[in-house]
Structure 1
Amino acid sequence: MTDLAALVDAMTLEEQVSLLSGADFWSVPAIPRLGIGRLIVSDGPNGARGGGGLIGGVTAAAFPVGIALGATWNPDLMRQIGVALAHETRSKGAHALLAPTVNIQRSVTNGRNFECFSEDPVLSAELAVAYIDGLQSQGVSATMKHFAGNESEIERTTMSSDIDERSLREIYLLPFEAAVKRAKVWALMSSYNKVNGTYAAENHWLLTRVLRQDWGYDGIVMSDWFGSRSCEPTVNAGLNLEMPGPPRDRGAKLVAAVEQGLVPREQVRTLALDMLRMMERSGALHDQTPHLETADDRPETRALIRRAGAEGAVLLKNDGLLPLARTGTLAVIGPNARVAQIMGGGSSQLNPHYRVTPWQGLAAALGEDALTFAPGCTNHRWEPLLTGPFTVSFHRGRNLQGPVVHTETMTNLESFWIPPVAGGAVDAADWSARITGHFTPEASGLHRVGVIAAGHARVKIDGKIIANAWEGWTKGRTYFEEGNDEVVGEVTLTAGQPCQVEVEFCVKPAENLAFSALRVGIGRPMGETEIAEAARVAAGADRAVLFVGRSGEWDTEGSDLTDIRLPGRQDDLVAAVLKANPNTVVVLQTGGPVEMPWIGQARAVLQAWYPGQECGNAIADVLFGDAEPGGRLAQTFPVRWQDNPTHSQDPLVYPGLDGHVRYDEGLFIGYRHYDRQNILPLFPFGHGLGYTTFAMSDLTASAPDASGAVTARLTVTNTGARAGSTVVQLYLRPAKAPVDRPDRELKAFAKLHLAAGEAREVTLTLPPRAFAYYDVAQGDWAIAPGAYTLAAGFSSADLALTASVTQQARRLAVGGMV
C-alpha cells in the first residue's frame, strides 16, 4: 500500500490542484514527477463506451437498461453484471465506470426513467449495492449518480429540486447511503440541478454534512460534465473533481483562490488525498501503461446479457397464449419487429458489438419460413436516420468559407463532436462543415426530411433547401437541451433515382454543455393502408406477435416525455391486429409505463424494455418458454398519465416553474401514492406472471432483538407443473407515529427459483432502520413504539399473509447501518 498522506504532502499546491480537474473529456492528468498515473473514466451504466463520442467508436457489450435490471429483483444477477462490466471497463482502458444511475422514478415521464432501477428506494438500494460490489470486486470504481434530486430532464442544468429533508433522507438519498455504508462505493457524481436552491456541485450540506460527516464517506465526488460552475463554492463544499477538462473554474483560478485565502490550503490537500485514495483503489495511481481500447466480445458476456434480458422481461398478462408452441405460422408485426431497440438515449448509449432484432430471434427459434411481416406504422420521434457513406469537409470559422482543412467520412448523417474536432484542425468553438453524399429512395412518393442540431444546419436535396435549422434556430428538447426540436421538410422522390444530399453546418455558442451535434433523417409517412395490411397479415397466420413501444429517441437523457401514450398510430395498430387475430401477443419495448387502451382485448402482454444487444434472442427465449419471464415491475403502471404521483394543476410540482420543481408529494411516490389516493393502477408495483404458479404460507415474525431487528419466515411452494421463479415481497405497515407515514413500504424481498412441486422456507431480516422514520428536528432516526404489521405477497396489491411485531421506542444514529 502506498503512503498516500506522504505522497500528497510531497506534491506542490499546483500538483494537488491538478488532480481536482480533468485533463480532457475522459481523464485526470498524470503527475510524472511523482510516478502518478492518469485516471481514465468511461460512461456507463448499461455498458462501457470508452473514450469516443456518443456515436461510433470501439464496439462494446450492451447490457439491459436500468429499469430492465430493476425488474429482475435479483441482487445476485446484478453482482454478476457488475463483474462483467468491470471487464468491459478494463477493455476500454478505463479505471472507473460512470454508473450506476440510482435516481428514483418520481414520475412516469422522466426521460431518464429507463436508466434508473425503481420507484422504490429499498429495491434501488439493494440492486445498487450488488452492482457496485461486483464492479469494485474487480478493482474498477463505480461512480454512483446523480447526487441528488435529478428526477426530471426538464431544464435539469439549472432547475432547483425543492425536497424536504425527510423525503430526501427516506427516499432519494437512501440508495446512495446504502452504497456508501455497505458497498463502500469509491466515487459519486453530483447532479446538474440545484437541491433546495444550491447547485448540487457546491452544496455543502449535501457533499460534506450528509455524505462525509453523517455517512462517513471517504471516496470522491466528481461533477457531471460541465456541471461544476464555480471555483471556491465547489471546492469548499467538498467537490473533488471538476469534469471534463481542461479546467474552467479551477487550475490557476484555484491556486489563486488558495493564495488569497478564499479556499483553505488544507481543503485542497483533503480533496487531493481523496483523489489519490480512489486512484489507488481503482489501479490508476501507478498505471503507466499506454491507453488502449479494445472490442472484447466475450461469449460468457453474451450469455449473461441474454439471460438478464429474459429475467427482466415482465409478463403483464397471459390468458393461456404463452408460451408459444413451435408449430404453425407466426405473423411478426410492428415498428419494433425488425429493429433492435436495445438501449435508451443520451450518455449511456454506445456502439454495440451487434444487435439482435426480434425478427432474427424469432427466425432462429422457429425458422424464417414460418414468419410473415408487416410494419403497420412508424413510432419514430425523428425521421429515420439517413445512412451513407458521406464526406464531411471542415472549414475554420462559421461561414463555410476558406480552404478545407480536414476531410473525413461518415457512415450515416449523425455526429456528436467533442474536442478535439477534425483531429484538432479547427477551433472547437469556431468551425463549419459541408457534408455531401447521395440517397436512393426505395419507393416513389412524398418523403419527409428532418434535421436536429446542436449548432446551425440546413439540408439540401438536389441543391434545394428542404429542411432549415439555420436561420431562426430555436432551442428545443434534443441533445441535452443544447439542440433544436426537429425541423421537417417534404420532398417528392422517385424510386431508384439517386438524389444529391448536402448538409451545411456551423457551431453555435453553448448554453451549458460544450459540444456540437447533428442528425439528419429521411422517411416515408405511413397511414391507414399500412395498418390494414398489418391486420391482413395477422389474420392470415395462426398467431401473431406485435412489437410496439418507443426507442432511445423518446426515452432519452435531456428530454422528458409529454405523455405515456404509445407514439404515433401504434394504439390503432394494436387494436386492428387484436381484432384481426385474437391469438396475438403484444410485446412492449419502452423505458417506463405506457397507457394501454386495448388491454381488455389482449390475451398476452409482455414488457421487454430495452434488453441490450441480445434483444431478439432474449425475447424469443421468453415467448417460446425456453426461459422464464422472470421480471416483476419495479415501477407502477398507471391506467393513465394523470394518475401518476407528479400530476398536478400546479406546474411547480411538475414540470417546474421559474427554475424550481417542488416535490409536494413528499414520501408518497410510486405505489405509496396509489395507495394514499385510492387509485387502482393498471399493473401494481411488483406485479409479474410466470409460466407456473406459486403459493405462500406460514408467515411468522420474531420479536425484535436487542437492536430492534426482526426476522420473518415463510414458506413458498411451486404449485405448478414446471420450474419457475418468483419474488417474495415483504411490506411494513407502521405503528402510529407523530409523523405521516405511508400505508405500506417495501422493506425486504427475495427471488426464488423452484422446481415443480418444490417448497422452500424463506428468511427475511428487517434491520432496525426498516421500522424508523427520519426525525428532522432531532437529526436522527426514530422508531415509534407500538405494533407493526408485516405483509407478504407477490406484489404491492397481492399481500395475502400478515404478521405483527411490537417495537419499543428507539433512536438510531445517522451513522448507523441501513
Structure 2
Amino acid sequence: MKKAVRVSLKAIGILILLLILLALVGWWYVNSTFLNFEKDYAEKTVFNELTIDGHTFLDRNGNEKLDIYEDNRKSTDERVADALSQMTLEEKIHLLKGSGINSALGRGDTAVPGAVGTIVPTPRLGLPTIYLSDGPAGLRIAPKREGEERTYYCTAFPIGTLLSSTWNTDLVNQVGTAMGTEAKEYGIDVILGPGANIHRHPLCGRNFEYYSEDPVLTGFIGAAMINGIESQGIGTAVKHFVANNQETDRNFNNAIVSDRAMREIYLKGFEIIVNKSQPWTIMSSYNKINGTYVPESKDLLTDILRDNWKFEGLVMTDWFGGDDAAAMIAAGNDLLEPGTKKQWKALEEAAEEGTLSETAINTATRRILKLVMQSKKMQNYKYVNNPDLDAHAKITRQSAAEGMVLLKNEQVLPIANAENIALLGVTSYDFIAGGTGSGDVNEAYTISLEQGLENAGYTINKKAKDLFESHKATNEEAFVKPEGLDAMTNPYFPPRMAYSKEDLADIVKSADVGIITIGRNSGEGGDRVEKDDFLLSDTEQKMISDVCSAFREAGKKVVVVMNVGGVIETASWKAQPNAILLAWQGGQEGGNSVADILSGKVNPSGKLPMTFPVNLNDHASNANFPLDGEPIDFIKMLTASKEEKPEDEQIKNKDYTNYEEGIYVGYRHFDKAELKVSYPFGYGLSYTNFNYSDLNVQIENDTISISVNITNSGDLAGKEVVQVYTSKPNATIDRPVKELRTFTKTKNLNAGESINLNFQIPVLELSYWSETTSKWELEKGIYRIQVGTSSRAIKLSEDVEIII
C-alpha cells in the first residue's frame, strides 16, 4: 500500500512538471507569435543617420527623433510616392502588419499604454509609430502608467444606439469632434470606430455599439461621427465591414446572405458613410460572407469598396481576423492587426515565392503611407495628455439627454410639485454608463440616477435607499465589477431587488413619486439571451407590479427608466407604470441627463432607431440567430483551425448563419407582415406637440425635392424629428411597404413657432438591387413620398411619377 502511494505521488509530481513545461512552451509560442516581435526587426536592421532637406530623422545611434520630417511644399501623394520609392521590400512587408498586442496588454515600451494596435515605424525614413485605440464610445487607453501618480481618464460618451436615437447629425458631429480632440491630446492617431453594423436581431451582444436596424439612419449618423472625429486630424476605422451581426463564433461564422440583402441592407450604411465622409480606414470583419473570409474577399474590398464606391483609405483587419495573410493583402486588406510573427513570415515567403506580387505589396503600402502622412505625428503635433474633459462632459450630457426616448407619459412628466423621489431597483443607484469590451471606457466617474436627481434638487427617499444599501451589503461579492477579458465573458449583473408589502407601504408614505430603473449590459464576445435578459426576470416583473400597485393605491405615480444597451421586452408590463423613459446608456453623465429629462430642463426628442417587438420570435431573423449566448472562447479564437468543416459537421448559427429573411430586417419586416409591435421604428414622445402641413413634392433634374412646414402647437419649446419614407404602390417586384430615405431634426422651436424644411432625394436612391442583372435598377411609375413621426405614423403623403 505504501509503495502504491509513493508511485502515485511520483506520477503526480511528473505530471505537474510536464504541465509546467507545457505552459512555458505555450507562453513562449504565444509571446513569439502574437505579442512582441519588433525586437527581431530592430536587431536585423541597420539604422544610419538620414538627412533630407535639412531634417534629421535619426540620431547617430539610430533612435527615432521627434522632429519628424514634413515637407509642406509637396502633396500627400507626392510624399507617399517619394517614401515608397525609398523603401526596401522588407520594409514594405514590415509595414503591412502591426507590432503585436503588447500595448493592449499594458506591456512593453509604448508612448500610449493601452492603445490596442499600431502601424509600425520605419525609423530609417522618419516614419513614426501610429497608434490605434478603441473605441466607439470614447478612447479606451490604460488609465495608469508605471511610475506616474496621475490617472489618464477619458470621456465616456453615450453609446452608439443612443446617439442614433438623437437623429441629430449636427449634435453627433459635435460628439465626434470632442472625441477626436481627446484622441489628439492623448497621442492617438486612429480611433477604432464607429460601428456601422445593422441591428439584424435584438440579441447581438454589440448592438449597443451600432446605430440602427436601418442603413440610411446608420449611414447618416456614422458619417456625422466620422466627419467630427476626422476634423481634428484623427483617423477613424469604420467597423465591422460587413454583416458581422452576431458575436457567437464570430471568427468562424459564415454569413450566407443574398446579393440583394447585402446591397440594400448590410452594405448600404457603409456606402453612405464612404460617400458622405470618406473615412481614413475601414475595418474588415471576422466572419465569412458566402464562404469567403471578408479580409480575403476581393469582391468586397476591391471591386465594391474601391472600384464601385471610390473608397480612398486603407482597410485593416479586426484583431486576428482572416486566415491567409498573403490572400488578405492581395484582396485589398492592407493592414493586418494586431500583427503576428506568423503573418510576417507568411508575407515574406509569399513575396519570395511570387504568390504575392510586389504590385499588391506596393498598393497596400501606399495606402498605409498615405494615412501616416496625414497623421498629426507627421505634423510634429505636440500632444500634451491634457484634454478638456470638463467641456467634453458637457457635450456628453447634452447628447445623452437628446437621445433618450420617451415611450409613455400619462401626466407625470416632467415631474412637478414633487420633492421626495423613491428610487427602486439596483440600477437606480448603480447606473450603467456603457457596454463592455472594446466599447468600454476608463472614465473618471459615472453619474448615477440618484446623483443626477440630487443635483437637480430632488430628495432621495431614505427608506428606499436604505433597502438598497442593505441588499448590496448582503450580496457584497456580486457587486464587484469584473475587469478586462472577464468583463467581456461575464457582464456585470448584480442580483435584482424584491420589496415586501411592508417596505413598499413605508416608501409610498414618504415619497411623492416612484422611479424604477431596469438595467441591462452586454458587450463584445457574447450575444444576449432571451430569458432574464430580453425578457424581464420574475423578480423584475414582480417589482414593477408591486411598486405600481402600491403607488397607484395611494394616488401616486410611477416612472420606469430603462438603463439598457439594447432592446428588451416591454409589451407585457408597459401598461402598469405611468411613464417610461428609454435612457439607454448615456456615458459618464447619464444620471444628470436622465434628471434633465425628468425635471423638464430638457424636452425629450429622441426617436427609436429600431423596432421594439411584442415577442422575440416576431423577428424574421429569430430562427437564424444563436440564442444560447455562448461566450467567446479566446483560446479557440487564437489557435483553432479556420479550415472549413465538412458540411455534416457544421452547426447552424455557429459555423454558418442563413440570412433567410433577406431585405426584411426590422421595420421592413414588421410593416410588410403587418405584425403588432410594442413600439415602432422612429417612435418617441415629447412634452409638446407638432403639426405637419403644406407638403410639396417636385421632381427636378433627377432629384425629388420635398418641402414641409412644421409648427410647435404645444406649450413648451421642443425639437421634432421629421422622417421621410418612400413606397411603391403596385410594385412589380417584391419591395418593403416603406423605406426611410432621409430625415432631419428641427432646431428648438418655441411654442407656436413654425419652420419650413426642405429635403432632396436623388431619384436613383429609389432603385432596388437586381440579382438578375447584378446592378441597381429603377422601377418606373408612381412613388409615394411619406412624411411622418415613425414608420407607422405618417402625417402627410404625396405621389410622384418617375419616368425613366
Common topology (TM > 0.5): yes
Paired with 1:346 and 1:716, the residues of 2 have a C-alpha distance of 42
2:569 to 553, 578, 595: 595
1:257 to 342, 347, 350: 350
User: How far off its partner does 1:561 sit?
Assistant: 2.7
Question: What is the letter of the counterpart of residue 309 of structure 1?
Answer: A
Two-structure CA RMSD over aligned residues (Å)? 2.8
User: How far off its partner does 1:364 sit?
Assistant: 1.4
Partner of residue 751, structure 1: 745
Paired with 2:765 and 2:680, the residues of 1 have a C-alpha distance of 22
User: 1:327 aligned to 2:406?
Assistant: no
Q: Please, which moves more after superposition, 178-187 or 355-364?
A: 178-187
Partner of residue 772, structure 1: 767
Partner of residue 607, structure 1: 582
Mark the CA change 1:557 to 1:618 in structure 2 (over 3 Å): closer, same or farther: farther
1:692 to 683, 688, 693: 688
3-state SS of 2:604 partner: coil
Paired with 1:258 and 1:535, the residues of 2 have a C-alpha distance of 77
2:138 to 38, 47, 66: 47
Mark the CA change 1:643 to 1:612 in structure 2 (over 3 Å): closer, same or farther: same
Paired with 1:781 and 1:526, the residues of 2 have a C-alpha distance of 51
1:73/1:632 contact within 8 Å kept: yes
1:719 to 713, 717, 733: 713
Paired with 1:180 and 1:379, the residues of 2 have a C-alpha distance of 50
Partner of residue 400, structure 2: 309
Deviations 1:667-724 (A, max 9, x none): 111111111111111011111011101110121110x223x21011111110001101
Paired with 1:376 and 1:253, the residues of 2 have a C-alpha distance of 57
Partner of residue 784, structure 1: 779
Deviations 1:549-583 (A, max 9, x none): 213xx355433333511246112111111111130
1:535/1:577 contact within 8 Å kept: no
Which aligned pairs between 1:287-366 and structure 2 lie closer than 5 A?
287=380, 294=385, 296-325=387-416, 327-366=418-457
Paired with 1:578 and 1:539, the residues of 2 have a C-alpha distance of 14
- Residue segments in structure 2 that go unaligned for 5+ positions in a row: 1-74, 102-116, 630-650
Partner of residue 705, structure 1: 700
Structure with the larger strand share: 1
User: How far off its partner does 1:808 sit?
Assistant: 1.7
Question: What is the letter of the counterpart of residue 349 of structure 2?
Answer: A
Question: What is the letter of the counterpart of residue 778 of structure 1?
Answer: T
Question: What is the letter of the counterpart of residue 43 of structure 1?
Answer: D
**What's the TM-score, normalizing by structure 2?**
0.80
1:804 to 796, 799, 804: 799
1:332/1:371 contact within 8 Å kept: no
1:338/1:358 contact within 8 Å kept: yes
Paired with 1:224 and 1:649, the residues of 2 have a C-alpha distance of 24
Question: What is the letter of the counterpart of residue 673 of structure 2?
Answer: Q
Partner of residue 495, structure 1: none
Question: What is the letter of the counterpart of residue 272 of structure 1?
Answer: T
User: 1:8 aligned to 2:99?
Assistant: no
Question: What is the letter of the counterpart of residue 758 of structure 1?
Answer: E
Paired with 1:336 and 1:598, the residues of 2 have a C-alpha distance of 18
2:530 to 562, 568, 593: 562
Partner of residue 258, structure 2: 164
% of aligned pairs identical? 33
Which aligned pairs between 1:225-624 and structure 2 lie closer than 5 A?
225-249=319-343, 251-285=344-378, 287=380, 294=385, 296-325=387-416, 327-368=418-459, 372-374=463-465, 414-416=482-484, 479=488, 528=498, 533-534=503-504, 536-538=506-508, 540-551=510-521, 554-563=522-531, 564-567=534-537, 569-582=539-552, 583-596=557-570, 597-624=572-599
User: How far off its partner does 1:758 sit?
Assistant: 0.5
1:379/1:549 contact within 8 Å kept: no
Partner of residue 239, structure 2: 145
Mark the CA change 1:316 to 1:336 in structure 2 (over 3 Å): closer, same or farther: same
User: How far off its partner does 1:347 sit?
Assistant: 0.9
Partner of residue 65, structure 2: none
3-state SS of 2:530 partner: coil
User: 1:665 aligned to 2:661?
Assistant: yes
Deviations 1:566-611 (A, max 9, x none): 2461121111111111301111111122112221122100000000
User: How far off its partner does 1:527 sit?
Assistant: 6.7
User: 1:102 aligned to 2:96?
Assistant: no
Paired with 1:712 and 1:758, the residues of 2 have a C-alpha distance of 20
Q: Please, which moves more after superposition, 651-660 or 300-309?
A: 651-660
3-state SS of 1:763 partner: strand
Deviations 1:228-272 (A, max 9, x none): 3222211111111111134431x2321221110110111000000
Partner of residue 493, structure 1: none
Question: What is the letter of the counterpart of residue 139 of structure 1?
Answer: G
**What's the TM-score, normalizing by structure 1?**
0.78
1:379/1:567 contact within 8 Å kept: no
Mark the CA change 1:530 to 1:6 in structure 2 (over 3 Å): closer, same or farther: farther
Mark the CA change 1:594 to 1:538 in structure 2 (over 3 Å): closer, same or farther: farther
Mark the CA change 1:599 to 1:93 in structure 2 (over 3 Å): closer, same or farther: same
Paired with 1:186 and 1:736, the residues of 2 have a C-alpha distance of 42
User: How far off its partner does 1:732 sit?
Assistant: 0.3
User: How far off its partner does 1:775 sit?
Assistant: 2.2
1:31 to 119, 122, 133: 122
2:678 to 682, 704, 713: 682
Paired with 1:415 and 1:609, the residues of 2 have a C-alpha distance of 22
Partner of residue 70, structure 2: none
Q: Please, which moves more after superposition, 610-619 or 769-778?
A: 769-778
Paired with 1:35 and 1:342, the residues of 2 have a C-alpha distance of 41
Paired with 2:371 and 2:129, the residues of 1 have a C-alpha distance of 12
Q: Please, which moves more after superposition, 262-271 or 567-576?
A: 567-576
Paired with 1:650 and 1:150, the residues of 2 have a C-alpha distance of 12
Question: What is the letter of the counterpart of residue 560 of structure 2?
Answer: V
